[in-house]
Amino acid sequence: MMNLPPYHNDQPSWRGYTLEEIQMRRALVRARMEIQKFKMSAQYDDMKQRTPFLGGTSSLISRIAGAFSIAEYAYMGLKVVKLIAPMFRKRK
């Protein structure tokens, strides 16, 4: 990593950064941001492979979703509606 000089606010003769120093600092910040993006992406991919609920072809959710047909989902939906509907009816 490149060692850049510290801020020179304590010196009265300091006139600011040169254009080259500003460009180097910006490039350094951009490089650090790209490295962090890459690290975050790699951590997410690693977590996704280790967690069986999040994703991938071997996740628990995808296995359950692939095991049922559309007719079975409709049948389960009707069962749930019949189970929940009496809770919302008015009592006399």
Q: What is the DSSP letter of 18?
A: -
pLDDT tens, residue order, the chain (92 aa): 566 666 655 666 768 889 999 999 999 999 999 999 999 999 888 877 776 665 555 667 777 777 788 888 889 889 999 888 888 876 66
User: Taking the model in full, what pTM does it have?
Assistant: 0.43
Per the CB < 8 A criterion, the answer to whether 25 and 4 are in contact is yes
How do the residues of the chain divide into helix, strand and coil, expressed in percent and rounded to 5? Answer: 65, 0, 35
